[in-house]
Amino acid sequence: AHEGILRRQSLRESSARTYARSLPIVPVRARGLTIEGADGRRYLDCLSGAGTLALGHNHPVVLEAIKRVLDSGAPLHVLDLATPVKDAFTTELFATLPRGLADNARVQFCGPAGTDAVEAALKLVRTATGRSGLLAFTGAYHGMTAGALDASGGARDVRGVTRLPYPYDYRCPFGVGGERGAELSARWTENLLDDPKSGVATPAGMILEPVQGEGGVIPAPDEWMRRMRRITADRSIPLIADEVQTGVGRTGTFWAVEHSGIVPDVMVLSKAIGGSLPLAVVVYRADLDAWEPGAHAGTFRGNQLAMAAGAATLAYVRENRLAERAGVLGARMMGQLQGLAADHPCIGNVRGRGLMIGVELVDPDADRATGGSGRSGSGSGTSTGVPPAAPALAAAVQQECLERGLIVELGGRHSGVVRLLPPLTLTDEQATAVLDRLADALSAAER
Ligand code: PMP
């Protein structure tokens, strides 16, 4: 069955498939950290539905919540009507929000994907401010629909989006790293906004990820986050935090903005908030609620199974303090990965926050970049002394991990970052098993 399914789907599905190419498995069963393929092989899953599964696969509280809705005879599809299930989800969601937003928030249920909620957020700030431009960051990922795509990625400005340098300590766009690099990023932003000759009109909003995920697991320094909050607040520019990937405890606090203590005007939430089913919302300050009825819609705004699974997940993470647990365990795992770097010179940088971990692989023997000139993303380093990224090695490590029954994600601006996004329910023993397999895979790939 395994081979036949793989063969048929590779013939029938689009050539845009990604995971199916690098991870040729046919999952048929899953529980917690473990996925089982049609060929009977078992894998430790540190991809977790691209960071969706806060509680791992098929957690009993999630399954129970879904079954309760199914057994109750409630409609599964409710557009944007009020229901008891939605009431419970909204109550639970508001109970988790950062203070300063919780007591004065509105929620808009969106189409079922993160990218839909990003579109809604962009539309909301444009409507509320009457402006059109947007500030976004190099290396960002916000989704695959037109507006989200424009806000994502490369170094160039597109269609009213002004691209700002995200502070990336290891490959600092200014070639200095550390606090200085973050300071220069902030000053760059201020200069653009305040210099009349920059040609950048006051924008409708700024969108940022508190930790860039797809961009290569790059945590923004807390002080830089506070600076961005001040810069936007002083100029009445709504700040949108895209917490699609960082939310629901993954980074060590319930929402990643809590590390810096800032309160964004708008939060974009998806992935884990649906407890493994599709759900996406925008939460924002009530005074931004300038929409006319129907200004934002979407047929699948009312998936009751997703709301029930999501409410159960949010409650479980909150009640069991899984964010704290993710912070402690993540720090320990990053420390151990750092230790591995002594034996593996290809480990250029270990970074992350909580259980959102990135290991940037490099080619230690290649010529080191000589200066911080370029913001353009070639495969070379942009900070003085940083070796170039090693995307081929990262791909090989991913394959060696798969051989050893470990599923890891790849990412990064040069595709050289091995990413771990395990469930927050990861046990100490499982963490050890994950790191042992990864260490073996590194040794094998280096040979
Ligand atoms: N924002 C961020 C930060 C993401 O990581 C992602 C997905 N990786 C998205 C938005 C888009 O979400 P979706 O794939 O559900 O459209």
pTM exceeds 0.90 for this model: yes
Q: Return the pLDDT at 366.
A: 87
Q: Return the pLDDT at 139.
A: 95
Is 202 strand, coil or helix? coil
Q: Which H or E run contains 350?
A: strand 347-353
Strand order in the sheet with 34-37: 27-31, 34-37, 42-45, 406-407
Q: Return the pLDDT at 155.
A: 62
Domains and CATH numbers, the chain: 2-58+322-446 (3.90.1150.10), 64-319 (3.40.640.10)
| Distance of CA 115 from the midpoint of ligand 1 (Å) | 6
Residues with CB under 6 A from ligand 1: 50, 113-115, 118, 141-143, 209, 213-214, 242, 244-245, 270
| Distance of CA 351 from the midpoint of ligand 1 (Å) | 20
| Distance of CA 141 from the midpoint of ligand 1 (Å) | 7
Pairing of strands 211-212, 205-208: unpaired
Q: Whose CA is nearest to atom 1 of ligand 1?
A: 142
Pairing of strands 356-361, 417-420: antiparallel
Q: Return the pLDDT at 1.
A: 85
- What ligand 1 atom has the least distance to the C-alpha of 270? 15
pLDDT < 70 regions, the chain: 155-156, 369-384
| Distance of CA 288 from the midpoint of ligand 1 (Å) | 23
Q: Return the pLDDT at 158.
A: 84
DSSP string covering 162-199: EEE----STT-TTS--HHHHHHHHHHHHHHHHH-GGG-
Q: Return the pLDDT at 159.
A: 80
| Distance of CA 421 from the midpoint of ligand 1 (Å) | 14
Q: Return the pLDDT at 373.
A: 35
